[in-house]
Structure 1
Amino acid sequence: MTGTPRTLRALMLSLAVSAMSLPALAADIVIGQVAPFTGTLAPTGKGVNLGIQAYFGRINAAGGIRGSKLKLVTRDDGYKVKETLVQTSDLIDKEAPVALVGLVGTGNVAAVLKEGLLEKAGIPLVGVRSGAMILREPVPTHIFHTRASYAAEVDTIVRQMQSMGLKRIAVLHQDDPFGEDGLVAAKKALAASGMDLVAVGAYKKGTTEVEEAIKSIHATDPNGIILVSNTAASSAFVKGMREAGSFAMMIAVSVTAGPQVAEKIGSKMAHGLGIVQVVPKPESQAITISRDLSEDLQRIGAKEAPDHTILEGYLMAKVLVEGIRRAGESTRPRILAALNELGTFDAGGVTIRYGSASHDGSSYTDISILDRNGRLLR
Structure 2
Amino acid sequence: MKLRKFAIGLAVLAVTAAGCSSKSTTDEGGTDANGVKTGPGVSEKTITLGALTDLTGVYATLGKSITQAQQLYFQEINDAGGVCGRKVELIVRDHGYDVQKAVGAYTELQPKVAGLSQVIGSPVMSAIAKNVASDKLLTIPAAWPSQLLKVPYVQVVGGTYELEMINGVDFLVKEKGLKKGDEIGHVYFEGEYGESALAGARFAAEKAGLTVVELRIKPTDNDMTSQVSALKSEGIKAVLISAGPRQSASLAGVAAAGGFNVPIVSNNPGFSPQLLGTPAAKALEANFYYVSATQPASAEAPGMTKLVAAYAKKYPNDVFDGGATFGYVSAKVFGESLKKACESKDLTREGIYKALQTQSAFDSEGLMPVLDFSKPGQVGTRESIVQQPSSKAKGGLVQVGEPFTSDAAKEFDLG
Q: Same fold (TM over 0.5)?
A: yes
The one-letter code sitting in structure 2 at the alignment partner of 1:173 is Y
The one-letter code sitting in structure 1 at the alignment partner of 2:79 is A
| Structure-1 separation of matches of 2:185 and 2:297 | 30
Match of 1:332 among 331, 349, 353: 349
The one-letter code sitting in structure 2 at the alignment partner of 1:59 is I
**SS of residue matched to 2:75:** helix
CA spacing shift, 1:291–1:227, aligned 2, 3 Å: same
Shift of 1:64: 0.8
Q: Note the 1:215-254 alignment, pairs <5 A.
A: 215-254=229-268
Q: Note the 1:8-157 alignment, pairs <5 A.
A: 26-93=44-111, 96-113=112-129, 116-126=130-140, 128-136=141-149, 139-157=150-168
Larger Rg: 1
Shift of 1:343: 2.3
Bigger helix share? 1
**SS of residue matched to 2:187:** strand
**SS of residue matched to 1:345:** coil
Q: Which runs of 5+ in 2 are unaligned?
A: 1-32, 35-42, 400-415
Match of 1:364? 383
Equivalenced residue count is 347
Does structure 2 conserve the Cα–Cα contact (< 8 Å) formed by 1:202 and 1:213? no
Q: Which runs of 5+ in 1 are unaligned?
A: 1-22
The one-letter code sitting in structure 2 at the alignment partner of 1:88 is Y
**RMSD across aligned positions (CA):** 2.2
| Structure-1 separation of matches of 2:312 and 2:250 | 33
**SS of residue matched to 2:372:** strand
Shift of 1:159: 0.9
Match of 1:162? 173
Give the TM-score normalised by structure 2: 0.78
| Structure-2 separation of matches of 1:111 and 1:300 | 34
Does structure 1 conserve the Cα–Cα contact (< 8 Å) formed by 2:297 and 2:397? no
Per-residue Cα deviation, 1:336-359 (whole angstroms, up to 9, x for no partner)? 111123222222123121124435
Does structure 1 conserve the Cα–Cα contact (< 8 Å) formed by 2:296 and 2:398? no
The list of structure 1 runs, each at least 4 consecutive aligned residues, that deviate by more than 4 angstroms after superposition, is 23-26
Does structure 1 conserve the Cα–Cα contact (< 8 Å) formed by 2:224 and 2:247? yes
| Structure-2 separation of matches of 1:261 and 1:132 | 25
Match of 1:190? 205
| Structure-2 separation of matches of 1:98 and 1:72 | 10
Give the TM-score normalised by structure 1: 0.86
Does structure 2 conserve the Cα–Cα contact (< 8 Å) formed by 1:144 and 1:359? no
Match of 2:308 among 287, 294, 305: 294
Match of 1:353? 372
Per-residue Cα deviation, 1:279-303 (whole angstroms, up to 9, x for no partner)? 113244x423313312432553543
**SS of residue matched to 1:101:** strand
| Structure-1 separation of matches of 2:391 and 2:373 | 40
| Structure-2 separation of matches of 1:124 and 1:196 | 40
